[in-house]
Structure 1
Amino acid sequence: MFSFLRRKATPPPPTVAPVTPESPAVEVVSAPPPAAVENRGGWLNRLKQGLRRTGSSIAQVFTGTQIDDALYEDLEAALLVADAGVGATQFLLNDLKRRVKETRTTDPGAVKALLADALTDLLTPLQGTLKVDAQQPTVIMVAGVNGAGKTTTIGKLTRNLAEANCKVLLAAADTFRAAAREQLAVWADRNQVEIVSQEGGDPAAVCFDAISAGRARGCDVVIADTAGRLATQLHLMEELRKIHRSIGRAMPGAPHEVLLVVDGNTGQNALAQVKAFDTALGLTGLVVTKLDGTAKGGVLAAIALWGRERQARGLGAVPVYFIGVGESLADLQTFDAREFSQALLN
């Protein structure tokens, strides 16, 4: 089930507290409908299946009879194989040893539960709610490398925003790849939302026109789909900066959200992408896709540790708004630290 902070001029559904100019925006807090709970449960099972290799590898560490250096060494190896990275692995080991000492735990099986707590605490700052209520329209710029699932993610996000009674406009800023424009147009048609597209045009100009149109038409959200690129392609990264500046000229203060879509199968390279795109654009949120098949999942621990270091420098948090495990609409869900920890440790 998606979670948004949303604004709507017309009376909202009964499960949503009304938002007026005199009152702050509020989050949906009522119990989700039974279908949403069922979808979430099925999704969690798919997430566990997707991360089962990592879970099995870590579970084997705790099959012994004592807590000793060998256990911690095996756990270190398992976390490194799970793509947690050296820094996050050492952080988790130190935290785990502290918890074992404080609780005087002697059962290796109980140490696994302490590890789940340590991982949950590390990941909790990554939890966040996508806000689409403070500005009209809220402008969301979406970036990512080729093949990360960016356009599909935009389609799913658009669907859920539309279902939350938000008026959405899409900007097809990947102007040089016809397939990207066509794919986004399919999602626009499927979700019955408007799209601004221009064959072979300047991506920054398309975004400028889309935001101008969104403001004129009273849209709640404008989502800009940018072309996929590697962080090492400096001229293309500069084009992203140009798009970012163009959006700001179209609407002061925009983009309000800069999202990076990351393929969960890319391991530590995902962290490198996050750092590079953050340097170029100043990220406000992440979407981690394809956490099934060969994904190991530990990279979220590395991203969480990077996030702590980023905040220590006085910068804002970069939450993981959504994670995905497949192609269907229900396969993209909000990130929950405890759920993810339990799925990763199986």
Structure 2
Amino acid sequence: MEYVVAAVILLVVLVVGAVGLVVPRMRRRELPPPPTSGSTTTLERPPTEELPPLIEKPVEKPVVVEPPVVEEPVVEEPVLERPAPTAGRLVRLRARLARSQNALGRGLLTVLSRDHLEEDDWEEIEDSLITADVGVEATQVIVERLRERVRVLGTRTVAEVREQLAEELTAALEPDLDRSLNTTPHDGRPSVMLVVGVNGAGKTTTCGKIGRVLIADGRSVLFGAADTFRAAAAEQLATWGERVGAETVRGPEGGDPASVAFDAVKRGIDVGVDTVLIDTAGRLQNKVGLMDELGKVKRVVEKHGPVDETLLVLDATTGQNGLEQARVFTEVVDVTGVVLTKLDGTAKGGIVIAVQRKLGIPVKLVGLGEGPDDLAPFEPAAFVEALLGGDA
């Protein structure tokens, strides 16, 4: 039995092996015929999927940010102002002066036009003149001369009395005094003018106006801002200069005023201007140290040569106190002329007579308003006409 099983297994093995030999042969016959002689065998590869052409990614260039274009501001050349001529300026401003002063004129004319003047009338005239700051001494002289003329001539018409009063007031103003400004260059250097005064008199503004007066009369001007203690003074003076094309020499705030004044004159010599106008710090006439410093400014400036003009700015509203101011300043810097400001307000015009009679210093310029050209050369006859009001 065992031999039978072994025989069966052997038979199965032989059958399976025969089948394995036959099947490969059958598959080989199904292959396509070989290529013809002389051709080259090319191995075929399965088709591959076509890829789209490579697109090169552009190289990013660094972004250059252009700086914003900053347009330079257009600097416009300042339009230079042309100050009004000074000739006849006081006459043009007469109406303004008359409005503030004609109370004096009306009062005097009313009294003098009475048919008969009693002692009380003359006292009233004296009071009017003293109230107008003419001063006691000057008032006594004027009234005495008027009394004599009325007694001798016996005139009573308003026109005649007015003429007599105008003549006496004009005579009291000493019309023969030299009121010209020394502004002509000489000895190879410009004329030098110091402007002095107390605090609050409007000195820096007046200094700027004086510069305009000189320019209006054909002079070339250079400003020296020697008021180094008031922060706005130099800037204020420079603004006045820019309006008329005048240079301003400045120094550091709180610096030495004498040094600035010296540099201003030196600069004026170098550029060849006609006049150097030096604004000094405001001072109280009773402060010895400050007044000594003002004297130093003058001495330092005089290293270039003598000071040609020293103008004292007085506020007309200060009245008789202005006389004391003028006296002290005269002792320190030898004042040659007075600039009387604020005659357009509540000022009393008689102070002009008082200053000249007491000190022998001529009033050379008067301020009649706040405008830049409201500073006029002083003319005694025109001033009296404005003081009395009306026409001559």
Q: 1:144 aligns with which of 185, 189, 197?
A: 197
1:192 and 2:235 equivalent?
no
- Secondary structure of residue in 2 paired with 1:132: coil
Instruction: Give how far 1:134 is off.
Output: 4.9
Query: Is the counterpart of residue 274 in structure 1 residue 317 in structure 2?
Result: no
- Other-structure match for 2:382: 339
1:234 aligns with 2:288: yes
For residues 256-283 of structure 1, the C-alpha deviation after alignment (integer angstroms, 9 at most, x for no partner) is 1000011111111112211111111111
In structure 1, what is the Cα distance between the partners aligned to 2:232 and 2:207? 15
Match of 2:342 among 290, 293, 297: 290
Contact 1:67–1:107 (8 Å) recurs in 2: no
Which secondary structure does the structure 1 equivalent of 2:386 belong to? helix
1:283 maps to a residue whose letter is V
Q: Which residue does the alignment assign to 2:123?
A: 73
- Counting matched residue pairs gives 302
- What is the 5 A alignment of 1:134-213? 134-135=185-186, 136-199=189-252, 200-213=254-267
Q: Contact between 2:213 and 2:373, CA under 8 Å: does it hold in 1?
A: no
Separation of aligned partners in 2, 1:117 and 1:192: 42
With 318-327 and 154-163 compared, the bigger mean Cα shift is at 154-163
**Alpha-carbon distance in 2 for matches of 1:256, 1:203:** 19
CA contact (8 A) 2:313 2:340 kept: yes
Q: Secondary structure at the match of 1:154?
A: helix
Could you list the runs of 5+ residues in structure 2 that have no partner in the other structure? 1-83
Name whichever structure is richer in helix by fraction: 1
1:46 aligns with 2:99: no
Cα deviation, 1:188-228, whole Å, max 9, x if unaligned, reads: 11121111111221001111111111112212110110011
Calculate the TM-score normalised by the size of structure 2: 0.72
Q: In the aligned structure 2, how far is the partner of 1:109 from the partner of 1:76?
A: 21
CA RMSD after TM alignment: 2.1
Partner of 1:98: 148
1:27-69: per-residue Cα shift (whole Å, max 9, x none)? Answer: xxxxxxx987786544111111121333333333235321232
Contact 2:196 2:279 survives alignment (8 Å): yes
Q: Partner letter of residue 263 of structure 1?
A: D
Give the Å deviation of 1:109: 6.3
Candidates 311, 316, 328, aligned match of 1:264: 316
Partner residue in 1 for 2:80: none
For 2:281 and 2:85, locate their aligned partners in 1 and report how far apart those are by CA, in whole Å.
35
Partner in structure 1 of residue 271 of structure 2: 217
Q: Which runs of 5+ in 1 are unaligned?
A: 1-33, 311-317
Superposed, 1:18-57 pairs within 5 Å as 40-57=90-107
TM-score (norm 1): 0.81
Residues 40 and 121 of structure 1: CA distance in aligned 2, closer, same or farther (over 3 Å): closer
Distance of 2:371 and 2:108 partners within structure 1? 29
| 1:163–1:112 distance in 2 versus 1, CA, 3 Å | closer
Counterpart Cα distance in 2 of 1:232 and 1:296: 24
CA drift of 1:252 comes to 2.2
Letter in 2 for 1:221: T
Retained in 1: the 8 A contact 2:185–2:274? Answer: no
Alignment partner of 2:125: what SS? Answer: helix
Shift of the 206–319 alpha-carbon distance from structure 1 to 2, 3 Å rule, reads: same
Indicate which of 136, 141, 163 corresponds to 1:86. 136
